[in-house]
Chains A and B, each alone.
Chain A
Amino acid sequence: QQPVQSPQAVILREGEDAVINCSSSKALYSVHWYRQKHGEAPVFLMILLKGGEQKGHDKISASFNEKKQQSSLYLTASQLSYSGTYFCGTAEATDSWGKLQFGAGTQVVVTP
């Protein structure tokens, strides 16, 4: 079953913050976040591993609450380059990379 992402879309002005959520009904080992620009391939942002680890990538950070099987991606002081569709991918075991299940995506539009 695919993880559920929310919101489906968000429009921001440059400098504003946003949060994207990803939740699963299954016990997870890791959550992966990717960003895809229109017409391009998804690009890796970060992996969150079981243990509540929090990671960051520039001004984009994320957390993983393994008790709730939820992950959140934080876009801080958004830049125009943050526009794109963000996907979370979930894995249930350490060697289950090949079985990543992706959410439907959250479209982010950052305006000047």
Chain B
Amino acid sequence: NAGVTQTPKFQVLKTGQSMTLQCAQDMNHEYMSWYRQDPGMGLRLIHYSVGAGITDQGEVPNGYNVSRSTTEDFPLRLLSAAPSQTSVYFCASSYRGPRNTEAFFGQGTRLTVV
């Protein structure tokens, strides 16, 4: 059971380039989210999804797009990379139970924009 898998683990982009961060989970979880983690700021929510075909914005959505065509996959697209998007990105998933449940995190993608 792989859990939540993120690719790539590391990426360097030039300003203005676009790319997609991949996230896949094999636990049949309904909820999936993307967070970015910057020093001293904890985890900030970028976008989240409550199921296939349904997405919504979090605290810091500007410059990012998401889509969710399947339960398993939730890619994050950077449209035109900027140095301010240098960060560590985490994808997380959770089972939709009667109450809030545990989040499982991927290993993260460390992105540097130069």
Write the residues of chain A forming the contact surface with B, with a CB cutoff of 8 angstroms: 2, 5, 29-30, 32, 34, 40-44, 47, 49, 87, 89, 91, 94-105
Contacts and interface: CB of A to CB of B under 8 A. Distances in A.
Interface stretch (B19-27, B77-85, B95-103): B95-103
Given A32-B100, A89-B103, A99-B48, 6 more contacts: A29-B100, A42-B105, A91-B100, A98-B33, A98-B48, A99-B45
Interface of B: 31-33, 35, 40-45, 48-50, 56, 58-59, 90, 94, 96, 98-108
A98 B46 CA distance: 10
Contacts of A104: 40-42
Contact of B100 (A30, A40, A87): A30
11 contacts: A2-B44, A41-B107, A42-B103, A43-B105, A49-B100, A97-B31, A97-B103, A98-B45, A98-B50, A101-B45, A101-B59
